[in-house]
């Protein structure tokens, strides 16, 4: 059956104390909203509707950056989760099938869990995802009658007896779309918060003779993020899981608790990651590479056998071919480095192409920026760039060429040539000895 995905993301997120809409706060380098969209994508939804309100422009931009086909429904006043779902009505016009609702602040639902909910829908009108909470806190409580879900009561409205229930509402609900919109329209706001609670649809549905059930999942999956403290807990859980997955995939980590992955990091088999490595978004490392301690990588690709760091920084557009070596205190940005090339010490390589087996000496800098424009540096294969060479882009160095240490290279260097661009050295015989004597004498006199 076709499924529509509705993600509620209009809330203020008051407890975040932030100018940024809550759902745009990031976990592992991606907004919570993107995690929710990724989770929902497992259903291959026929339509995806994000209900946005607070900071809707920003929310829309983030949603469309992930998937341009996402539809945005505006909830200009945040009157509650049922009211939010009602705003998706126009976007769902003409849709025939099930609707699954996710909250944008509940980022970790697994595809298997959504599949279990779809399966349970075959025998029940409404399926709610619940979890046994170690500390049920402010979650809504699921009140069962036998194997039927009877109603959901919000924490604020719950009696002491109801608060003692540990089976909690995750916020994920699936039902026939038309039925859902009908139920939502019947929700009122006579409750402690004065809000239209989505959770009230269960009581209403049961009164209409519809059936409702609960699919249970692990608490980790349903973690709702409402505060900065919960955001950091969600981040920690993500990392814990990502490290376990990497280990299962054959990655060695000396101190896994100090390695941080992004939502989309891909690491190949038999790669070794030393302590204190951070992966930003968009990193692919092939098999058999070594990422040494204290390195930071984002938006880059490290091919088989690469050795990065310690203390290296790979920025977006760093494309490293097989067996490339990037050493300590080296920054690479938007540069293609061909197989076997080495940039081992204290260098900045930006907007550049480096040919195979070239050796880039310590302290080399591609001067890529003139204050207004960025320019490209092209270095051929088998070159030897002397230490402390300044390559003033746009400039090129041909195959098998060399540059002298300390050169400022402003003109193209032909293949096979040696470029020396520095002041000629002059030695003044005895000068240092005489100067030392004069200075020491002055010091002895105390002046």
Just list the catalytic residues.
Answer: 345
- Report how far residue 285's alpha carbon sits from residue 265's, in angstroms, rounded to the nearest whole number: 8
Q: Please say whether the beta carbons of 302 and 288 come within 8 A.
A: no
Q: Which of 114, 147, 146, 162 has its CA nearest to residue 5?
A: 114
**From the list ligand UD1, Ca ion, none, partner contacted by residue 358 (C-beta under 5 to 8 A by kind):** none
Q: How far apart are CA 187 and CA 199, in angstroms?
A: 9
Give the pair of three-digit tokens for residue 11: 């809330």
Write out the binding residues for Ca ion, residues 144-203 only, by CB under 5 A. none
Q: How far is the CB of 223 from Ca ion (least distance, A)?
A: 10
CA distance 422 to 389: 10
Backbone angles phi, psi at 363, to 5 degrees: 75, 10
Residue 87 contacts which entry, ligand UD1, Ca ion, none (Cβ below 5-8 A, type-dependent):
none
Residues in contact with Ca ion, total (CB under 5 A)? 3
Asked if 364 and 382 count as a contact pair (C-beta separation under 8 A), the reply is: no
Task: Verify binding: residue 398, Ca ion, rule CB under 5 A.
Answer: no
Pairing of strands 212-216, 266-267: unpaired
Contact between 13 and Ca ion by CB under 5 A: the answer reads no
Cβ distance to ligand UD1 smaller for residue 29 or 140:
140
224 binds Ca ion (CB under 5 A): yes
Minimum gap (Å) between residue 184 Cβ and ligand UD1: 11
Contact partner at residue 10 from ligand UD1, Ca ion, none, CB < 5 to 8 Å by partner kind: ligand UD1
The interface partner of residue 80, options being ligand UD1, Ca ion, none and the CB cut-off 5 to 8 Å by kind, is ligand UD1
Nearest to 41 by CA among 129, 107, 121: 107
The nearer residue to Ca ion, 155 or 329, going by C-beta atoms, is 155
Q: Which is nearer to Ca ion, 27 or 320 (CB)?
A: 27
- Tell me how far, at minimum, the Cβ of 55 lies from ligand UD1, in Å: 10
Angle (CA) 211-215-217 rounded to 5° is 165
Structure tokens at 86: 């009602």
> At closest approach, how far in Å is the CB of 12 from Ca ion?
11
Cβ atoms of 298 and 310 closer than 8 Å: no
Q: Kindly list the residues in this chain that would bind ligand UD1 in the complex (CB under 6 A).
A: 8-11, 23, 51, 75, 78-81, 83-84, 103-106, 139-140, 152, 154, 168-171, 197-199, 224, 226
Interface ranges with Ca ion (CB under 5 A): 105, 224, 226
């Amino acid at each position: 059956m076709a499924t529509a995905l509705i993600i509620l993301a209009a809330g203020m997120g008051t407890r975040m104390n932030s100018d940024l809409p809550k759902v745009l706060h990031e976990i592992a380098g991606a907004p919570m909203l993107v995690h929710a969209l990724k989770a929902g994508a497992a259903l291959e939804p026929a339509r995806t509707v994000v209900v946005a309100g607070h900071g809707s422009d920003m929310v829309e931009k983030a949603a469309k950056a992930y998937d341009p086909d996402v539809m945005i429904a505006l909830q200009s006043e945040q009157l509650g989760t049922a009211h939010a779902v009602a705003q998706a009505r126009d976007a769902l016009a003409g849709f025939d099938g099930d609707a699954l609702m996710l909250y944008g602040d509940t980022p970790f639902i697994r595809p298997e869990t959504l599949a279990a909910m779809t399966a349970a829908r075959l025998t029940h009108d409404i399926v709610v995802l619940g979890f046994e909470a170690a500390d049920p806190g402010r979650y809504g409580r699921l009140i069962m009658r036998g194997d039927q879900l009877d109603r959901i009561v919000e924490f604020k409205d719950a009696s002491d007896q109801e608060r003692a229930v540990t089976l909690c509402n995750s916020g994920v609900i699936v039902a026939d779309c038309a039925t859902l919109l009908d139920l939502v329209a019947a929700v009122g706001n006579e409750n402690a918060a004065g809000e239209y609670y989505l959770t009230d649809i269960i009581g209403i549905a049961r009164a209409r003779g519809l059936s409702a059930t609960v699919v249970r999942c692990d608490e980790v999956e349903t973690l709702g993020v409402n505060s900065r403290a919960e955001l950091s807990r969600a981040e920690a859980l993500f990392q814990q899981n990502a490290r376990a997955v990497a280990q299962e995939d054959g990655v060695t980590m000396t101190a896994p608790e100090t390695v941080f992955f992004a939502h989309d990091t891909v690491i190949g088999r038999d790669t070794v990651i030393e302590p204190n490595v951070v992966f930003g978004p968009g990193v692919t490392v092939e098999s058999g590479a070594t990422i040494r301690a204290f390195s930071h990588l984002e938006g880059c690709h490290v091919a088989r056998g690469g050795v990065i760091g310690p203390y290296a920084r790979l920025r977006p557009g760093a494309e490293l071919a097989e067996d490339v070596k990037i050493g300590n205190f080296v920054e690479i940005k938007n540069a293609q480095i061909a197989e076997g090339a080495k940039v081992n010490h204290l260098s900045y390589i930006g907007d550049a192409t480096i040919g195979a087996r070239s050796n880039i000496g310590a302290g080399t800098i591609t001067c890529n920026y003139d204050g207004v424009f960025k320019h490209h540096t092209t270095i051929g294969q088998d070159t030897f760039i002397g230490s402390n060479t300044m390559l003033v882009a746009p400039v090129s160095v041909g195959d098998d060429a060399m540059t002298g240490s300390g050169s400022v290279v402003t003109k193209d260097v032909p293949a096979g040539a040696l470029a020396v661009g520095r002041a000629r050295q002059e030695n003044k015989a005895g000068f240092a000895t005489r100067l030392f004597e004069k200075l020491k004498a002055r010091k002895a006199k105390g002046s």
